[in-house]
Chains A and B, each alone.
Chain A
Amino acid sequence: CTSVVAEDSKGSLFHARNLDFGLFMGWDVKNKTWIVTEKLRPLVVNVDFRRNNQTVFKSTNFAGYVGMLTGIRPHVFTLTMNERFSLDGGYIGILEWILGQRDGMWMSFLTRSVLENATSYEEAKKLLSQTKLLAPAYFILGGNQTGQGCVITRSRTLSLDIWELDHSLGRWYVLETNYDHWKEPLFVDDRRTPAMKCMNQTTQANISPKTLYDVLSTKPVLNKLTTYTTLMDVSTGLLEAYLRDCPDPCSPW
């Protein structure tokens, strides 16, 4: 996955993501595609969650999956989640759950609860950084005011790091793939460097949902695991999603 929150020169905040899933879950030799990824694409839906006939939040989802990986609470905040791999992974959390230790939260249920119930960027940030989880994760959160954008790096129990937009450091965007931002990515899976190169080339003055789509369309940010691209603009409440394909030559991940 690749998620990015960016602020333009006028202080508008945009949030976009590629959702990549299906690595090592069956390779179709004939078509050179991942089998599960191909089957997930037709399940992608946009959902408008309404209460009392009013939109509470919107999301890009897989039909049949009740948790959230990508969503917007219009005019309040935007949220995406990227997978964080760890030996202290979710299978330990599941075992603890089965054995009766149920003080942690399932990752996608937490993101859904935050989208449904949090009424501010700060409240969302607090819930995402402090709630005990069953599995490690990266939460990418964007707000509705200048400087409100961060990547929360989570272990199952702790918030390891909160990396925020910072004008004083010239940090006008935060970009997360599937590696801790303070460490080098795996050299055969470096989507971060090309994505950051394209963000820097775009410049803050020209960043918009359209140019974010360009960044997320550049291989290997776009790869054979990419199922969809979502673009969000918190101020207008826009959420757009597009199914993606990555014809050869294209990185398998």
Chain B
Amino acid sequence: SAHLAPPFTEECRTGMYPPKGPTFKGAVTWYTVDLNLPPSKRWAAVISDKKAELVAMIQVIRDLANAFVPSGKLIDIVDKDLPLLVDTLPYPFNEEIRGIAAVSGVPLGEVVLFNIFYEVFTV
């Protein structure tokens, strides 16, 4: 099984388009975000549709955090302290994040964490 060791490399694919078969998991749905709306309202339609999926993803992150720090203190910090960070984020992103938390019911600190994931994980 040595040839299966990372990075498993295959011959260049051809004829894959239009997407089909086992590497294609589905099309992506389109939404419209109206930039004329107040920032807190812009994502309402997207989040209403994707609320369950967002909650499920955040739960996985909570589980991972609790696996690293079983006392639950890491998530406590996220829920108590990260909401303070949203006030310092630039407009309109801070208001959009507040709107997403309000529509989804996900704690504000956890929505903030999702939105700063990139900066957290570049090490």
Contact = CB atoms under 8 A, between A and B. Distances in A.
B12 A214 contact: yes
Contacts of B97: 66
A218 B7 CA distance: 12
A46 B16 contact: no
B1 to A, nearest CB: 9
A67 B100 CA distance: 13
A226 to B, nearest CB: 9
A213 B19 contact: yes
Contact of B7 (A90, A98, A191): A191
A36 B61 contact: yes
Interface in A1-44: 25-26, 35-36, 39-44
A90 B121 contact: yes
A94 B8 contact: no
Given A43-B50, A43-B54, A83-B118, A243 B123 contact: no
Interface string B32-72: 11111000000100110110011011001101100000000
A190 interface: yes
A201 B12 contact: yes
A137 B119 CA distance: 10
Contacts of B111: 64
B7 A190 contact: yes
Contacts of A191: 7
A102 B12 contact: no
Contacts of B106: 64
